Amino acid sequence: MKRRGFYQLHRWLGILSSLFVCLVALTAIALNRADLWRGWFLSGQSQQAFSVAQALQLAADPHDPQHLLAADLHALYQSHDGGQRWQELKLYVPAEKVTGIAFEPAQAGAIWVALRDAGLFFSDDGGEIWEEDFSLPFEPIKGEAIEALLVSQGPTLSLRTALGWYRKDAAGNWTQIPLVGNPQTVLSLHDWIWRLHTGRFAGLWGPLLYDVIALSLILLALTGLRLSWRPRRKKPDPSVNAAARSGHDALAR
């Protein structure tokens, strides 16, 4: 009875583990092959109405209090009537994951927008024509994502990333103030876990290798599940065997 209980426990834990393995493997593949499924969610994404309730970033124009900029996870929006109506403000790249919006206090129409994983963009005509600031002393796409943006008089531009606090003066020179408490160990851990999960830590071949391993794990899990549902083979009944043997002996005689 005890043994049977352990068997049942082992079986159900095995089933749950198999499902978990499938989940982990499938999410890793989904992260690595996002281009294969993102198309399903494209339609109408930019057509959605925006309201301040969705804003993750918000900034007011110091030269025009009615002019507001806001951003959600997917796009940048502007309002010229104090936030009553919003319309999408397009950059020439997808304005995804905006982590900072700032108006330059000394120059009307000058806007800075920081995209978490893409970089820093600037417009000096109120958002009609944009250009990227290629002078950044780090590469957001390589993992040092921009987390905050601040523009003050001078103009001085400051960016905070996971690893440091960068400041650009009016002459265009960057200085770095490392964050107190050596935060890179803690903060970059998240990126490392993500890289471990997707195989990105191993360069170009990592995701491909992970895909193969993930598919193998899914196959193992599914075949394991199939085996767990197969009915157990019954032990042969000794009384039936004995009867058959005696019948056989009688015939032989």
Partner 1 sequence: MWKKLNRLGLCLLLALGSGEIAPVQAAEKPEFYEQIYLSEAEALKLVMGDLNLKKTIFKPTAAQRKRLQQKMRRKLPESEIPIWVGFKQGKPARYAFILHEDGKHYPITFIVGLTPDGKVTQVAVMVYREKRGDGVKRARFLNQFPGKTRRDDVEVNADIIHITGSTISSWSMAAGVRKALILHEELGLK
Instruction: Tell me which residues touch partner 1 (CB under 8 A).
Output: 32-35, 38-39, 42, 45-46, 74, 90-94, 96, 118, 128-131, 134-139, 141, 166-167, 173-178, 180, 182, 204, 207
CA distance 58 to 71: 7
Cβ 36 to partner 1, closest distance in Å?
8
CA distance 89 to 42: 18
Taking the least distance from each CB to partner 1, the nearer of 55 and 95 is: 95
Strand 87-88 and strand 57-61: the pairing is unpaired
Taking the least distance from each CB to partner 1, the nearer of 206 and 224 is: 206
Cβ 217 to partner 1, closest distance in Å?
20
Taking the least distance from each CB to partner 1, the nearer of 86 and 130 is: 130
CB 77 within 8 A of CB 71: yes
CA distance 7 to 107: 74
Cβ 121 to partner 1, closest distance in Å?
9
Taking the least distance from each CB to partner 1, the nearer of 64 and 88 is: 88
Cβ 186 to partner 1, closest distance in Å?
15
- Structure letter (DSSP) for residue 229: H
CA distance 179 to 145: 14
